[in-house]
Amino acid sequence: MPMDLQLQGCRVINPGSVGQPRDGDWRASYAIIDDGEVTIHRVEYDVQETIRDMQNAGIPDEMVNKARLVLESGGNPVGK
């Protein structure tokens, strides 16, 4: 999950994920750090093309179907 927080005196920056979203937002997530300032950004991408690429790569249907659920829904938000 994308975050920028202080934890016991240490800054923790997690830009998030492209293929394993966990916060309910299916878009790719990344962070930009500029002069100590962190901004989290989201970018749409073709999820269906990604799923087709997985199928064409010979990934077993069971794994593709599990990935499809996560990619299309944005994963399972923590605490929801």
Q: What is the pLDDT of residue 17?
A: 85
- Give the C-alpha separation, 5 to 9, whole Å: 10
Residue 9 DSSP one-character state = T
What sign does the CA torsion over 65, 67, 73, 78 have?
positive
> What does the pLDDT look like over 36-74, one tens digit per residue?
999 999 999 999 999 999 999 999 999 999 999 988 888
> What does the pLDDT look like over 9-35, one tens digit per residue?
999 999 988 778 788 898 999 999 999
3-state secondary structure of 69: helix
* Residue 76 pLDDT exceeds 90: no
